[in-house]
Amino acid sequence: VYIIAVTVAWALSGLANAGSDGPLDLEVHRFNLNNGMDVWVHVDARAPLVATAMRVDLGTADEAAGLAGSPGIAHLVEHLMFTGSPAAPDGAHDRWIEAAGGETNAWTEHDATVYTTVAPANALDLILALEADRLRGFSAALSERDVEVQRAVVFEERREIEAAAGGTNMAVWQAAVFPEAHPYHWPVLGTVAELEQVDAEAVRAFVARRWLPPRLRLIVAGDVDPAVVERRARYWFSEIAAGSPVPRPEPTPVSLDAEERWLWTDPEPQLTVLWPTVARDHPDAAALDMVARLLARDGSGALWRALVAGGPRVERVDAWQWNGRLGGYLGIAVHTGDADFETVLARIDRELLRLSRTAPEVAALASIVRLRRAAWIRHLEDPVHRADALAKCGAASGTVRCLALEMAALRAVTPADIRRVVDVWLLGTGRSIVSSVPMDQLGRALTDSSPLVLP
Ligand SMILES: [Zn+2]
């Protein structure tokens, strides 16, 4: 499984003392183990459940630092971590959680690998024991056969994604906006040629310097007693050695001097415009997130009005600010239907100029904040989402008040900020445009588009 999440942009600067934000201000009991592992406990007694999110600061972007190229080994390890240990052999992890009435999930992003579990609250100790067992017993149990089997699973995952309409979108966008030297250029699933070179020894070497307690944050959310969680977490995890993790790659600013145009074939026609922007902790991240929402919001967004409700009447328009710890981009994707690509691009440019010249109403910004907050509150209804949200925003900010701070950053965006970030990040720089067209409609692509080759 892999996911490239669209992170909500936010910035910490000057917001450390932001006020309470009701349901988004989740109370967290936090402690550290001697080996550097960070544990957060959030009591949520609405249902007799416990949800955990184990977030490892290790993703696709960390591959380049230690290996030639980027063979997708982080994602392969995510799969292999379910294959067993001497204590829980042959996929027992999943079976035991299911027998206890729970379920597990996992995914790999560019910056992290995440394992989640939800189960009846009395399964807390089983979950902690199995999460610790992943670290403890993994290398001893790993066989060449495990690597072969999971590599075949990954190749099948890749074939399914390539066959689906829009399935390669994320990989295409990352490749189009980040240059080859950037860790975000490479797809989470890796490349076939390089994955074929990976053996059990390479996996062990990769894990030994990265899958270590200083890079782990465990979130436990649910109907639990923090004192019990702390006692049991210390019991299961304290003896795991801290090790000496390799340093993570440094943030690398990306800019494009001019406009690059790419041609990609996909069953679904789509025009995507991408601008390199900022990493997640940049002060402009929240304003860029707001720009994306102002543009594409259904029913009132400037691009929705110009492209869906009127004009060329495309099927849908999306806009988002994607940002990780190393960099980010703003994307506008138009599901064009039969509309002409040049016309669509001209409308996008017109609306961006308009946003640069005419500041949006304060009321429009407030409305975006309200929607965002409501979406968060609904999202947090699910205990697993709650644990994952804390793990994710915690990794970005290092603070337990991360959700409230994220909202505070959005609230702090002014109409003048919107105009400024449009000028600086969208109108003042180069960009990358991808014309995705069906095989029999290549002529619809923007002129001078070069075929894009995925890594
Ligand atoms: Zn997978």
- Measure 106 CA to ligand 1 centroid, in angstroms: 8
Q: From the CB of residue 302, how many other CB atoms can be counted at a distance below 10 Å?
A: 23
> pLDDT grade, residue 6 (50/70/90)?
very low
**Which amino acid is it at 395?**
A
- Ligand 1 center–CA 437 separation, angstroms: 27
Quote the ligand 1 centre to 398 CA distance (angstroms). Answer: 27
**Ligand 1 centroid, distance to 75 Cα (angstroms):** 6
Q: What are phi and psi of 22, to 5 degrees?
A: 50, -125
Extended strands (E) in 338-389: none
Report how far ligand 1's centroid is from the alpha carbon of 451 (Å). Answer: 27
Q: How far is the CA of 349 from the centre of ligand 1 (A)?
A: 37
Cα–Cα distance between 408 and 421 in angstroms, integer? 18
Please state, in angstroms and rounded to a whole number, the distance separating the CA atoms of residues 378 and 44: 15
Q: pLDDT value at position 141?
A: 87
Give the per-residue pLDDT at 181. Answer: 86
- From the CB of residue 455, how many other CB atoms can be counted at a distance below 10 Å? 16
Q: How far is the CA of 453 from the centre of ligand 1 (A)?
A: 22
CA 169 to ligand 1 center in whole angstroms: 16
For residue 180, what pLDDT band results from cuts at 50, 70 and 90?
A: confident
454 Cα: distance to centroid of ligand 1 (angstroms)? 18
What distance in angstroms lies between residue 141's CA and the mean position of ligand 1's atoms?
Answer: 20
pLDDT in tens, 96-139: 999 999 999 999 999 999 999 999 999 999 999 999 998 888 88
The CA 442 to ligand 1 mean position distance, Å, reads 31
* Extended strands (E) in 98-247: 103-108, 113-120, 216-222
For residue 130, how far is its CA from the centre of ligand 1 (angstroms)?
20
Inform me whether the pLDDT recorded for 191 exceeds 90.
Answer: no
